Amino acid sequence: MAPDCDILVVDDDEDVLSLIAEALRLKGYRCLQARDAGAALAMLASGQAPRLLLVDLCMPVVDGLGFLSQASQLSSTRDASVLICTGSPQARQPPNGVPVLVKPFDLAELHDRVRALIGEAPRGANP
């Protein structure tokens, strides 16, 4: 069964969230958006099985690492890759070798990182 989405983008900054999701949609990826860990976990618990979790570290209530810890317990994330996207300079050395994209970033770099983690977008993506 094909996943319902390619990428779940989790970021509390609505502008960044929209920018990332739209840039990836324009490349042909199917994206879901969540403004906090609770909303993202609810999507995952409802059966969404993304190929990539693209997660901000600094979020209120449950931060990105807390979200990833909880998400790792769900079967829907068993095969998902992870990309941390953060403005935190300390995140340059991520836990467990998780790749990090530091804000501000270039959209071409975002696409390159996503493509490296999960491959080209399905369904005839734009070049």
Q: pLDDT tens for residues 28-71? A: 999 999 999 999 999 999 999 999 999 998 898 999 989 999 99
Q: Is residue 124 part of a domain?
A: no
> How high is the pLDDT of residue 74?
94
Q: What gap in Å lies between CA 70 and CA 53, rounded to an integer?
A: 13
Q: Is residue 59 part of a domain?
A: yes
Q: Is residue 15 part of a domain?
A: yes
Q: Is residue 40 part of a domain?
A: yes
What is the value of pTM for the model shown? 0.89
CATH of the domain at 76: 3.40.50.2300
Q: How many domains does the chain have?
A: 1
Q: Is residue 2 part of a domain?
A: no
Q: Is residue 61 part of a domain?
A: yes
Q: Please, are residues 36 and 60 in contact by the beta-carbon 8 Å criterion?
A: yes
Rg (CA), the chain: 13
- Domain around 81: 7-28+36-117
